[in-house]
Amino acid sequence: MPKGKKKGKFEHRRTELPYSSDEDAGIDMTNDNCSETSGQSDLRSIHDEAESEAQEKFEEKVLEIIDALSARANAARASALVSLRSALQRRYLAVLLSGQRATLADHLTKALRRGKDGEKKAAASVAPILALQVGEDGVEGFMQEVRPALAAAAVDKTASLDTRTECCSSLAILCYLMEDDLAEVLEVMRLFETIFSGSYLKGDGSVKVSGSVVEEGAWHAAAIDGWALLLALTEADHARSLLKDNPPSFARLADLLEACSLEVRMAAGGAVAIAYERVTDDEEEGDEEWVEMVLPRLEDLARDSHKFRAKRDRKVQRATFRDILKYFEEGDVPELRVRIGVESVSCDTWSSRATYSALAAALGAGLQSLSPHCGRLRAALGLDPQAPIVPAPAHSNSRKNKLQRHLQNTAACKARTVARNKNRDKRSAALAI
């Protein structure tokens, strides 16, 4: 020892050949409890337990919401319907709701027939997504009760225009997805025609500009969209006979392109495109008389620059009718490709574009959560009958919610703490030798 250097307090405990690593000290670092595979298993088990517990709590909350549908206060029932729609958008609950079909159908029917304005609107908005959630076995009974109530609410003059508009949209989606009887579909189409007939031109060919017609524009537009959506369910020959022998004729639809309401004009443009698409086969050209009937009007709308209309309205109108005009002139439809979960939906026809827009508006976030489970919804979107099975990766790079991140961090911290404590014990034993 060099002169002048004092002996350390623990110098006598040091080994003659100090180790530089755990392997040099003879410490076994192959303990399974702190291996990467074990950590992943612990993380997976903790995540599964947490997910199962969250599912149970979620189902309990849904049952509480269903119980609240029978509250005495109208505002409480309306709030419960809004909460129920939000819950059904998040998860697929067909197993839970299979025993509540009759109760839910009864609540919706009472709300649509006897509820006040807010309750009617909330009941109409929840009807399509609830029909997809009750399961295939309960669809027929659900439709027999809810569809007539929706049809009555759609023409109820005591309800607000927003409520009637919501009822028209929900009734169209409900019939498009769930109704198998074509006679019932045609009956609903006739109902829609009686609604938007209020926007027809006058007998002398002039446009109706009364205040009521302007105010009811959104209601009439919803009826036109619903009529066009259901027309897509018919075959080409049947659609042609409907447009010639039953109201509204193709000429009547073309007259709606001159309506004073922007919503009606845009809805009429989509309906005209869908109607012409349905009666046109791939091997045959369409009726030239129909093309000549709508082409001048479409050109005017695609180049509209009238200053008495709002600047935004003119911009939206020109953008919409340019695509429709191009379809009638060249036969091109702007393709729309949308990603739903791990699948992709391609909308290359006017009817498929209208279907996706209507479903997205009616289901919202439920479109993604229900598409892997509901066969009728998958058929409407043009997806394969069987949803693809995507294995969950060991290390998911996808964005996790707050609970998943918390559970992953907790499991990783626990694994590190256990491994560190075990290593400390072994090192202490080695130092004591």
Reading the chain (433 residues) residue by residue, the pLDDT tens digits are 555 545 544 444 444 444 344 444 343 444 444 444 555 555 566 656 777 777 888 888 989 999 999 888 999 999 999 999 999 998 888 888 888 888 899 999 999 999 899 999 999 999 999 999 887 777 888 888 999 999 999 999 889 999 999 999 999 999 999 988 889 999 999 999 999 988 888 877 788 877 777 788 899 999 999 999 999 888 888 888 888 888 888 888 988 998 888 899 999 999 999 999 988 864 455 567 788 888 888 888 888 766 656 777 788 888 888 999 999 888 888 888 888 888 888 888 999 999 999 999 999 888 888 888 888 898 898 888 777 765 554 444 445 677 888 888 888 888 888 888 877 665 555 555 5
**Count of C-beta atoms within a 10 Å radius of residue 11:** 9
| pLDDT value of residue 330 | 86
Q: Which residue has the tokens 């309960």?
A: 138
- Whole-model pTM? 0.78
Cβ partners under 8 Å of residue 254, min gap 6: 268, 272, 293, 294, 297
**Gap between the Cα atoms of 78 and 121, Å rounded:** 8
Task: Give CA angle at 164 (161, 168), nearest 5°.
Answer: 135
3-state secondary structure of 181: coil
| pLDDT value of residue 173 | 95
| pLDDT value of residue 389 | 65
| pLDDT value of residue 357 | 93
**Gap between the Cα atoms of 123 and 282, Å rounded:** 41
Task: Report whether 333 contacts 350 (CB < 8 A).
Answer: yes
- Contacts of 423-432 spanning 24+ positions with Cβ under 8 A: 423/22, 423/27, 423/29, 426/22, 426/27, 426/28, 427/22, 427/25, 427/27, 430/19, 430/25, 430/26, 430/27, 431/13
**Gap between the Cα atoms of 133 and 97, Å rounded:** 7
Give 433: exposed, middle or buried? Use CB within 10 Å, 0-12, 13-18, 19+.
exposed
